[in-house]
A and B are shown apart, each in its own frame.
Chain A
Amino acid sequence: MDIYILGIESSCDETSFSIVKNGVQEISTVISTQIDIHKEYGGVVPEIASRAHIKNITFVLEECLERANMKVEDIDAIAVTYGPGLIGSLLVGVECAKTLSFLYKKPLIPVHHIAGHIYANNLVKRLEFPLISLVISGGHTELIYMEKDYSFKKLGSTLDDAVGECYDKVAKVLDLEYPGGPKIDKLADRGKITYNLPIPLNDDTYNFSFSGLKSAVINLCHNEEQRGKTINKEDLAASFQDVVIKSLTKKTMHALKEYNVKNLILAGGVAANSGIRESFRKLCEENSINYTFPDIKYATDNAAMIASAGYYAYLDGRRADLTLNATSSDELK
Chain B
Amino acid sequence: MRLFYIDTSSNWLLTGIYEDNKILAEVKIKLGSLMSKSALEKVAEVFRKSSIEPTDIDKIIVVSGPGSYTGIRIGMTIAKIYAYTFKKEITTITSLEAMNLSEDLKETYAVSLIDARRGFVYAGIYKDNEIIFKNQYIKLDKLLDYIKTLNAKVTFITDQEYIKTLEEILIEKEFAETNKNYNVIEYTKNLLNIVSKTKDKKEINPHLVEPTYLKLTEAEENLRNVHYDN
Contacts and interface: CB of A to CB of B under 8 A. Distances in A.
A322 B44 contact: yes
The binding surface of chain A is classed by DSSP as helix
Interface in B127-186: none
Contacts, number: 91
Contacts of A61: 81, 84-85
Contacts of A72: 85
A324 B218 CA distance: 29
Contacts of B213: 51
B86 A103 contact: yes
B223 A325 contact: no
Contact of B43 (A41, A59, A100, A102): A102
Given A41-B219, A58-B206, A72-B85, A322 B41 contact: yes
Nearest to B34: A325
B217 A100 contact: no
Interface stretch (B10-18, B70-78, B92-100, B195-203): B70-78
Contact of A96 (B44, B77, B206): B77
A91 B70 contact: yes
Contact of B82 (A41, A59, A62, A99): A99
A155 B213 CA distance: 43
Interface residues of A, number: 34
Given A99-B81, A102-B44, A103-B85, A92 B73 contact: yes
B207 interface: yes
Contact of B73 (A41, A91, A99): A91
A40 interface: yes
A69 interface: no
Contact of B220 (A48, A98, A99): A48
B73 A58 contact: no
The size bracket of the interface on B is 20 to 34
Contacts of B56: none
Contacts of B78: 95, 99
A324 B34 CA distance: 11
Given A50-B69, A91-B70, A98 B40 contact: yes
Contact of A54 (B37, B39, B210, B218): B210
Contact of B36 (A51, A91, A100): A91
A95 B74 contact: yes
A58 B210 contact: no
A326 interface: yes
Nearest to B75: A95
Contacts of B219: 41, 45, 47-48
Interface in A64-100: 72, 87-88, 91-92, 94-96, 98-100
A193 interface: no
A172 B39 CA distance: 41
B85 A51 contact: no
B218 to A, nearest CB: 8
Closest 5 CB pairs of A and B: A95-B77, A47-B217, A45-B219, A325-B37, A99-B81
Interface of A: 40-41, 45, 47-48, 50-51, 54-55, 57-59, 61-62, 72, 87-88, 91-92, 94-96, 98-100, 102-104, 321-326
Given A91-B74, A95-B73, 6 more contacts: A58-B207, A72-B85, A87-B70, A95-B78, A96-B77, A103-B81
Interface of B: 36-41, 43-44, 54, 69-70, 73-74, 76-78, 80-82, 84-86, 206-207, 210-211, 213, 217-220, 223
